[in-house]
Amino acid sequence: MRFSETGFNLEIDLSTGNVERVETDPGLTELHLGGLGTNARLLWDRVPPDVEPFSPDNLLILSAGLLVGTHAPGANRTIVSTISPQTLFMAYSMMGGFFAPELKHAGYDKVIIRGKSPKLTYLWINNDKVEIRDASHLRGKGACETAELIRRELGEPKAQVAAIGMAGENRVFFASIEHGRSSASRLGIGAVMGDKGLKAIAVRGTKDINIARPAEFMEFCNGVLKYIEVRDKKPVPGVMPILAGLGSPQEMKLIDEEWHTTNFMWGNSRTRRRDFWTKEIEEKWRGTQESVRKRLISCHNCPMKCGATISAPGVSTYMMKCFSKLTYTMAAYSDLDFGFRIAQRATEYGVDAYSAPQVMAFGLELREAGILSEQDMEGMPSDNEGKFYWLLDRIVRREGIGDVLADGTYWAAKRIGKGADAYAHNNIKKHEQLPLKLGMLNPVYFLMYSTGEKSNITQIEGQFPQAPFATKEEREDFVKDWIHVPHERFKQYLLDWEFRGERSNPYYPTVEMSCEIVDWQEMMHYIDDALGMCAGLSSFPLKPPYHVHNYPQIISAAAGIDIDEAALTKITRRNRTLVRAVNNRRGLTRDDERPPEDHWKKRFPELEAKLLDEYYKFKGWNKRGIPTRESLCGLGLDDVAEDLAKRGMLTPEEGVPPPQGSVG
């Protein structure tokens, strides 16, 4: 019997209509756990670097993590992986909600989709019965609308549906896959789904998930809930409200947006409005939020309430989470009411709420600068909010200028020329970033921005405070119950970190410390992404219930594979290195690893070079950011080393097998 996983993947070829249930190798679980780890292995094995994102040979993988479907609170993530049309590297995006647990209960760990259907279709997975069904009547329908229609036509109110909207159908480079209150938004995954002619996947499952050591596992789960209860009553003092508690940032619950609105940039990541937040604004926004928010809601088996049902007068009800509440508002220099309204349309269209608003603001900047002409914008209304609706409608249909903007700021600027690339100023690896522009370089953040394979800061940061605490007392207080650190010395790094003077940014934390801090934070995300655990209960918030010390036992008790901290660290490093290798093979090198030039005002080229050098070394990569043969073989990825060497991506010395016995 397989524990914690089903042991089966569903392989779908949309070109031939072939459907296969394939037993997986339990050895792969021991090597990679599951989720992102095994997804990376599949992409490495089956998607060679010459495969374009919109090739039938590109895979679209929707995977439930290893712990999904067990009783572990918060284990509900679907990890979607493919090759991104925007970055041309491996894309992965996690979505919460209820899809992944349902998939597990239907008897599958992953759905692996290849090929392309000539007609728009949807997939209906009902336990052992799998059908590819016609979806031509769903063309152009909104993502939430589609889910409702499918549930109705199947007569299955309990089916969980992941669907794309018009943006995905039309291969918008920042199209998302939507699933109720959640979405896999980043890196254009929805465009690949649309390219495959797949409108939606509906799933219903009624099978058991088995636990290897039930009593022990249950004790951990109870412990996690107890911890959440206690932690909930003890917000971390001295940090902004969204970082004080557990869960994803509590945007739906909190009204106080002083921090975002006065620190994040407005427009096309342009203007900081330090004085924006006033008592009047707070009252107005409170009124808006409280009137449209019907209920705070959660994901499968999680006590937190990070999402909300939103019902604004005149627009259909939808569900929202997190920061999308502010991205449209701020891109348009508008107010919260507009944000809630346009987000409804954007959710039905299925676009990434980080990229889409920025792309639209970028388009308007280009118009103002005269780079885009009046003809380019023919028919655009004159009012500010109307412009955003107009642009959104064009983009998701790829009509006129919308067709250009639908490729995102990087590629749009290339197509437009005339100096437009100066306006695509907020990208890493061709991908739009959060609108943050800061003063002093923070060495830890420099490394995370540069090297994060997800190209999204929230998917790598979390465990170490973003800024030093002001006083010694606060620091001492913070480290008191900081059981999460992988090693006691991390506490000292924090205790010594100050706002000014010798032990402050950018030279403190030192280069060595920064490497360790980044590595720890990233490790937690890779564990979560393999397990399907929500980052909101683990890698993202400070002092979460899951951490590097209890995870090995939880995983062992659930899956029956015996691992300790060292083994878990090694698995994580293996997964992380494999994702890097997939990308190296597609051309990723050091040159791609740079935050936007204007991310910090004060930059330190020498220090930055040293940070990258040392971090690469720490990770077992060469100076160009490619894993060395030694580190690959040490992780049991000999075949990967072989392949990279054959492609001439490792220099001759790096290509030489290590002397016997030098790696463990």
Binding site for another protein (CB under 8 A): 69-71, 73, 98, 105, 144, 148, 157, 180-181, 206-211, 214-215, 217-218, 222, 225, 228-229, 294-303, 305, 309, 311, 316-319
In the numeric block, the tokens 């220090």 are attached to: 607
Task: Answer with the entry of another protein, ligand SF4, none that 537 interacts with (C-beta below 5 to 8 A by kind).
Answer: ligand SF4
Between 247 and 595, whose beta carbon lies closer to another protein? Answer: 247
Q: How far is the CB of 439 from another protein (least distance, A)?
A: 39
Beta strands 129-134 and 160-163 are unpaired
Helix, strand or coil, per DSSP, at residue 277: coil
Task: Answer with the entry of ligand SF4, another protein, none that 247 interacts with (C-beta below 5 to 8 A by kind).
Answer: ligand SF4
Q: Binding to ligand SF4 by residue 248, rule CB under 6 A?
A: yes
Q: Which of 6, 58, 63, 76 binds ligand SF4 (CB under 6 A)?
A: 76
Between 14 and 299, whose beta carbon lies closer to ligand SF4? Answer: 299
Binding window for ligand SF4 (CB under 6 A); candidates: 137-145, 302-310, 552-560, 572-580:
302-310
Task: Answer with the entry of ligand SF4, another protein, none that 534 interacts with (C-beta below 5 to 8 A by kind).
Answer: ligand SF4
- The rounded Cα 286 to chain-centroid distance in angstroms is 29
Q: Binding to ligand SF4 by residue 536, rule CB under 6 A?
A: yes
Task: Answer with the entry of another protein, ligand SF4, none that 69 interacts with (C-beta below 5 to 8 A by kind).
Answer: another protein
Q: Binding to ligand SF4 by residue 320, rule CB under 6 A?
A: no
| Per-residue b or e along 338-373, where b marks 16 or more CB atoms closer than 10 Å to that residue's CB | bbbbbbbbbbbbbbbbbbbbbbbbbbbbbbeeebbe
Task: Answer with the entry of another protein, ligand SF4, none that 55 interacts with (C-beta below 5 to 8 A by kind).
Answer: none
Computed on alpha carbons and rounded to an integer, the radius of gyration of the chain in Å comes to 24
Task: Answer with the entry of ligand SF4, another protein, none that 536 interacts with (C-beta below 5 to 8 A by kind).
Answer: ligand SF4
Interface positions, 91-120, toward ligand SF4 (CB under 6 A): 96
Beta strands 438-440 and 600-602 are parallel
Task: Answer with the entry of ligand SF4, another protein, none that 317 interacts with (C-beta below 5 to 8 A by kind).
Answer: another protein
Helix, strand or coil, per DSSP, at residue 477: helix
Between 154 and 406, whose beta carbon lies closer to another protein? Answer: 154
Between 245 and 506, whose beta carbon lies closer to another protein? Answer: 245
Helix, strand or coil, per DSSP, at residue 205: coil
Task: Answer with the entry of ligand SF4, another protein, none that 180 interacts with (C-beta below 5 to 8 A by kind).
Answer: another protein
Q: How far is the CB of 601 from another protein (least distance, A)?
A: 42
Task: Answer with the entry of ligand SF4, another protein, none that 96 interacts with (C-beta below 5 to 8 A by kind).
Answer: ligand SF4
Local structure of residue 120 (DSSP, 8 states) = -
CA distance 76 to 96: 6
Between 53 and 536, whose beta carbon lies closer to ligand SF4? Answer: 536
Q: How far is the CB of 537 from ligand SF4 (least distance, A)?
A: 5
Structure tokens at 254: 């909190």
| Per-residue b or e along 563-602, where b marks 16 or more CB atoms closer than 10 Å to that residue's CB | beeeebbbbbbbbbbbbbbbbbbbebebebbbbbeebbee
> What does the DSSP assignment read for 6-33?
-SEEEEEETTTTEEEEEEPPHHHHHHH-
Q: How far is the CB of 6 from another protein (least distance, A)?
A: 12
Q: Binding to ligand SF4 by residue 537, rule CB under 6 A?
A: yes
Q: How far is the CB of 484 from ligand SF4 (least distance, A)?
A: 17
**First vs last C-alpha separation in the chain:** 31
Number of residues that bind ligand SF4 (CB under 6 A): 13
Q: Binding to ligand SF4 by residue 247, rule CB under 6 A?
A: yes
> What does the DSSP assignment read for 441-476?
--HHHHHHHHH-TTS-GGGT--SS-SS--SSHHHHH
Task: Answer with the entry of ligand SF4, another protein, none that 228 interacts with (C-beta below 5 to 8 A by kind).
Answer: another protein
Q: Are 65 and 75 in contact (CB under 8 A)?
A: yes
Q: How far is the CB of 225 from another protein (least distance, A)?
A: 6
Q: How far is the CB of 245 from ligand SF4 (least distance, A)?
A: 10
Q: Are 93 and 100 in contact (CB under 8 A)?
A: no
Q: Is the dihedral of CA 292, 341, 536, 189 positive or negative?
A: positive
Task: Answer with the entry of another protein, ligand SF4, none that 468 interacts with (C-beta below 5 to 8 A by kind).
Answer: none
CA proximity to 81, closest of 90, 72, 89, 73: 90
Q: How far is the CB of 425 from another protein (least distance, A)?
A: 38
Q: Which of 47, 306, 416, 568 binds ligand SF4 (CB under 6 A)?
A: 306
- What count of other Cβ atoms lies within 10 Å of the Cβ of residue 605? 7
**236 beta partners:** none
Task: Answer with the entry of ligand SF4, another protein, none that 98 interacts with (C-beta below 5 to 8 A by kind).
Answer: another protein
Residues in CB range of 101: below 8 A, 6 or more apart? 64, 68, 69, 76, 300, 301
CA distance 250 to 264: 17
Q: How far is the CB of 173 from another protein (least distance, A)?
A: 29
Write the interaction track for ligand SF4 spanning residues 480-519; mark x where CB under 6 A is met and - where it is not.
Answer: ----------------------------------------
HSE of 93, CA atoms in CB hemisphere, 13 A: 24
- Residue 394 has phi, psi (to 5 degrees) of -70, -45
Binding window for ligand SF4 (CB under 6 A); candidates: 373-381, 514-522, 529-537, 600-608:
529-537
Local structure of residue 621 (DSSP, 8 states) = B
Residues in CB range of 107: below 8 A, 6 or more apart? 6, 8, 21, 127, 128, 205, 207
Between 240 and 296, whose beta carbon lies closer to another protein? Answer: 296
Between 9 and 78, whose beta carbon lies closer to ligand SF4? Answer: 78
Structure tokens at 2: 């397989």
Structure tokens at 321: 């989470």
Binding window for ligand SF4 (CB under 6 A); candidates: 25-33, 261-269, 296-304, 491-499:
296-304
By the criterion CB under 6 A, which residues form the site for ligand SF4?
A: 74, 76, 96, 247-248, 298-299, 302, 304, 306, 534, 536-537
